Structure 1
Amino acid sequence: MDYVELVSYSVLVNGQQFGFIQPGRGSREGNPLSPYLYIICTEGLISLLKGARSRGELKGISMGMIIELMNHLMFVEYTLLLRKATILEVTSFKQVLNTYEI
């Protein structure tokens, strides 16, 4: 446990220290593990989306002149999930998210 640190934050009110806040879970911003945890988690979501697409459950959408259908875009900490508005797509997508949540 040499790499895990307990953190507490203090709040200043009118220049006076006012209590401590100890975060319950998650990692702080700037934690060197954060990018790696993000990559591991997003790889799981990407794998689930690709699996559903290969089974024909999700189709994706076409963006301009791009021939390949896209079903997601990811950049830094943002994820854009692209869907057609059909009952089958939404149901399949909900199943993917439920599996990812577990």
Structure 2
Amino acid sequence: MKCTTSVSYSVLINGFNGEKFQPARGHRQGDPLSSFLFLLCEEGFLSLMRLAMKEERLKGVNASRSGPAVSHLLFANDCIWFGKASMRGASLFKEILGEYGCCSGQQVNFKKSIIFFNRNTSEANKQGVVNLLAV
């Protein structure tokens, strides 16, 4: 937070620096620091995912028989998580998200989240996961 609350700006007017000022609202979307801060925070989340995989609590999915297991993919500020569609798997995701949220102050917007299931997933498992994660 020190990085985002201690910044000051100066506007160049006709080739001359204007007076310095500090933003009153803190860090905002579009700030050049946004991407870096997102990646820095995301590293904490990824550490929790890697730990769960190392402890074999999270399995991920394999794209091929000999390929590595993939538990997540990141693109800009979006995440895709892969896991077993079960109450245990959903509880683990919820636990990881809860721990990450407590540490970072960031929360998943479940209203903007979507779950996709493998066609072999039973309706009971689908409904249990959807209800547990409130997606």
Do both proteins adopt the same fold according to a TM-score greater than 0.5, normalized to the shorter chain? yes
Give the 5 Å matches for 1:30-45: 31-45=31-45
Confirm or deny that 1:94 pairs with 2:91: no
Change (3 A) 1:43 1:66: farther
Question: How many residue pairs get matched?
Answer: 84
The question of whether the paired residues in 2 share the 8 Å contact of 1:45 and 1:100 is answered with yes
Give the 5 Å matches for 1:16-55: 26-29=27-30, 31-55=31-55
CA RMSD of aligned residues (A): 1.9
Change (3 A) 1:5 1:67: same
Change (3 A) 1:35 1:84: same
The question of whether the paired residues in 2 share the 8 Å contact of 1:71 and 1:83 is answered with yes
Percent of aligned positions that are identical: 26
AA paired with 2:42? T
- Cross-structure match for 1:57: 57
Q: Structure 1, residues 65-99: CA drift from partner, whole Å, max 9, x if none?
A: 66101000001111111111122211111110100
The Cα shift of 1:2 comes to 4.3
- Cross-structure match for 2:23: 5
Structure 1 Cα separation of the partners of residues 34 and 43 of structure 2: 14
- Cross-structure match for 1:74: 74
Could you list the runs of 4 or more consecutive aligned residues of structure 1 that deviate by over 2 angstroms after TM superposition? 1-4
List gaps (5 residues or longer) in structure 1: 7-23
Q: Secondary structure at the match of 1:95?
A: helix
AA paired with 1:5? P
Instruction: Give the number of the structure whose residues are more often helix, by fraction.
Output: 2
AA paired with 2:49? L
